[in-house]
Amino acid sequence: MKSPRWPLWGALLLLVAALLTVLVFLAAEYEVGRDQAALEQDTLDVASDIRSNLLRNVQTLQSLHAFSPTPQSWEVPAAETLAAQREIVRLEWRDTALRPLAQRQSPYTGDVFGVLGREQALPEVRQACDAARRLSGPAYSSSYFWPLRDGRGMELMELCLPLSEAGVARGFLVATYSLRGLLAELADLAQVRGRGLSFADVDGTRLAVHSLLASTRRTLRAQTLIDLPGHTLLLQLESTRRALGLFPNVLTAVVGALSLALLAVLYLLARDMRRRQHAEERAAEALAFRKAMEDSLVTGLRARDMTGRITYVNPAFCQMVGLSAEQLIGTGLPAPWWPPELVDEYQQRQAVRLAGQTLPREGYESVFQRSDGTRFPVLIIEAPLIDARGVQTGYMSAIIDLTEQRRVEELNRASQDKLQATARLATVGEMASLISHELNQPLAAIASYASGTLNLLQHDARTAADPDIAGAIRRIAEQAERAGRVIRSVADFVRRRDQVREAVAPQRLIDGINTLLTLQAKKQSIRVAIDIAPGTPAVHCDRTMVEQVLLNLARNGMQAMPMGDPSTASGLRLLRIAIAPVPERDGAPPRWVRFDVIDHGQGLSAEAAERLFTPFFTTKAEGMGLGLSLCRTVVEQHGGVLTGEPSPPRGMRFSFTLPVAPGQGGAAQAAATAASA
């Protein structure tokens, strides 16, 4: 799925546009700041000029009373001063009580106080003189508006200068200033040409205007304070930005040009990247398709250069040998998947193949070793690796894991063996049926002859008194009868008929085989120990078949202890048969009885123990390998389990379980409890 790149391009264009806008804005702001700083400096210079001229005026006014003039002689120099200082509209000489002694009007403004009398401005005069008296020097009053005859007015300000002679106060010299005159006469006109100059109030109201500019967004404004004794004036200077047009200066013009160039470069870059993206997508699709094919293969692929060093492996090959691609690429000979004992052989074989002495596409079988040490067979098909120029750069190998093929072949062989074993078992079943049918008559004849012999012995006075002969004949009859039962049970087992099961006490099972077991034990000098736990309940089984299982296991145990084996403490080899109920976890009555046949023979190897119950497998030279298999089948038909395990320090323990006869579990538990009590 293609990733959406248009939002990224849109975000980039927005970012570039924002950057360019900020650059243009900063350039313009820089120009504005520069003009503003220049205007503020000019405002400070104008304020300094006004302050300096006001100080010179104070010195000039003080010179009017340098030679103790009289009111009559004072008017002439006062008129001269007014003619020279156009910003002063009136001069007054007042006594200490602020009563006028002499006064003079400016020839340029006429009678300013013609509409309203001078007495209306006495509060401002008194304010300035009170401040002058406190400061012992010149002081100014706050400005005030004074109407004129033509309906207009002007903003005035009073200067009060205390007069004294030989330390004696002679009154006050009061000079009335026009704020507009201050701007027109005391400011440097060259500096304020083309600008707006005015005195303003703190709220922005203009008090006096020398020149005025139309207020636009391009108008710059600077203000400064003129601190005077008793009063402070706010001087305001306005100017229009010198730069005009879309690009106010060279800097912003250069930034704009660079911005347009950057946008053009971005467009060309976007077009080139779009073409590259399409080419990369096509290459990526082809690469992904090839990679998907390689990853989906179950055949391992391996590429090597001319020196035998690995340059490429696919996931199937990595999975075969249990190593990652990072661990394999770059490795040479000997390969990490070679079995250690076959390294020399494989080295020689690879040297021959790399020398070009074999057919290029010849396949051969080999054995590889995984990282966990397991071995597996493979088929290797190798061919030269030719590049686009037709030059051989290495070898390309296809490796096929033959493990599954070998497993299938092994299963086929096992199936054939099983079929052969089944056929042999069928033959054994037919032979058993035939033998059982043929042996019934000889056994019946043996039993009849034994019974007839007993009758003859009882009527013969010479042999009636010999109990051993009668006992031997009686045992022959019993064993013949038992052999007949065994043959019938085997026939029923082979024909899968319903077998007759009954409740049989464990002791009766032992008694049934005790005679044969004792004879064989004496013959081989083996001691047989029978251990039946007290209270062991009767089992529900086919007595004859279970007796044969016990007899078969006991005979196997005796045969596992041949003559010459180390003897036990009593000097005889020991075969132990233990019978006990299997206890339940919850204390309930037992449901199973366990039979253990334990010998102290030579034991079995691990390989033999795994195939112990396999039909036709035997460790005896004369054995058929059917005894344990038939014993397990008989036990499993009763619902039990037959197992074999080593019995330390040596020997084997064969154990099987049989179900407890119905109604016997509770009685057996009660008997065991009574015995323990």
Task: Yes or no: say if 241 and 217 are a contact pair by the CB < 8 Å rule.
Answer: no
Task: Yes or no: say if 459 and 651 are a contact pair by the CB < 8 Å rule.
Answer: no
CB atoms within 10 A of CB 462: 7
Total residues belonging to the chain: 677
CB atoms within 10 A of CB 175: 26
With CA atoms as reference, report the closest residue to 368 among 394, 399, 398, 409: 399
Confidence (pLDDT) at 422: 58
Confidence (pLDDT) at 605: 73
Structure tokens at 391: 């030059």
From the number of C-beta atoms within 10 Å of its C-beta (0-12, 13-18, 19+), residue 275 rates as exposed
Task: Yes or no: say if 657 and 664 are a contact pair by the CB < 8 Å rule.
Answer: no
CA angle, residues 441, 443, 444, in degrees to nearest 5? 65
Q: Which residues have a Cβ under 8 Å from the Cβ of 65 and sit 6 or more positions away?
A: 74, 163, 165, 170, 173
3-class DSSP string for 37-102: HHHHHHHHHHHHHHHHHHHHHHHHHHHHHCCCCCHHHHHHHHHHHHHHCCCEEEEEEECCCCCEEE
With CA atoms as reference, report the closest residue to 368 among 400, 331, 395: 400
Confidence (pLDDT) at 570: 47
Low-confidence ranges of the chain (pLDDT < 70): 1-6, 8-9, 68, 242-252, 296-297, 353-362, 417-441, 443-445, 447-452, 454-472, 474-475, 477-499, 563-572, 609, 613, 615-626, 664-677
User: 73-125, pLDDT tens digit by residue?
Assistant: 888 888 889 889 999 999 999 998 889 999 989 888 878 887 788 888 899 99
Cα-based torsion angle of the residue sequence 538, 544, 547, 551 in order, rounded to the nearest 10 degrees:
180
Query: pTM, whole model, 2 decimals?
Result: 0.41
User: 395-418, pLDDT tens digit by residue?
Assistant: 777 777 777 787 887 787 777 766
Task: Yes or no: say if 203 and 159 are a contact pair by the CB < 8 Å rule.
Answer: no
Task: Yes or no: say if 661 and 546 are a contact pair by the CB < 8 Å rule.
Answer: no
Confidence (pLDDT) at 242: 63
CA distance 176 to 92: 9
CA distance 428 to 424: 6
For the chain, which domains are there?
A: 33-240 (3.30.450.20), 300-401 (3.30.450.20), 414-498 (1.10.287.130), 501-676 (3.30.565.10)
Mean pLDDT of the chain: 78
Structure tokens at 245: 């047009």
CA distance 358 to 408: 31
Beta-ladder partners of 208: 199
Return the axis-axis angle of helices 543-559 and 627-637, rounded to nearest 10°: 150
Confidence (pLDDT) at 572: 57
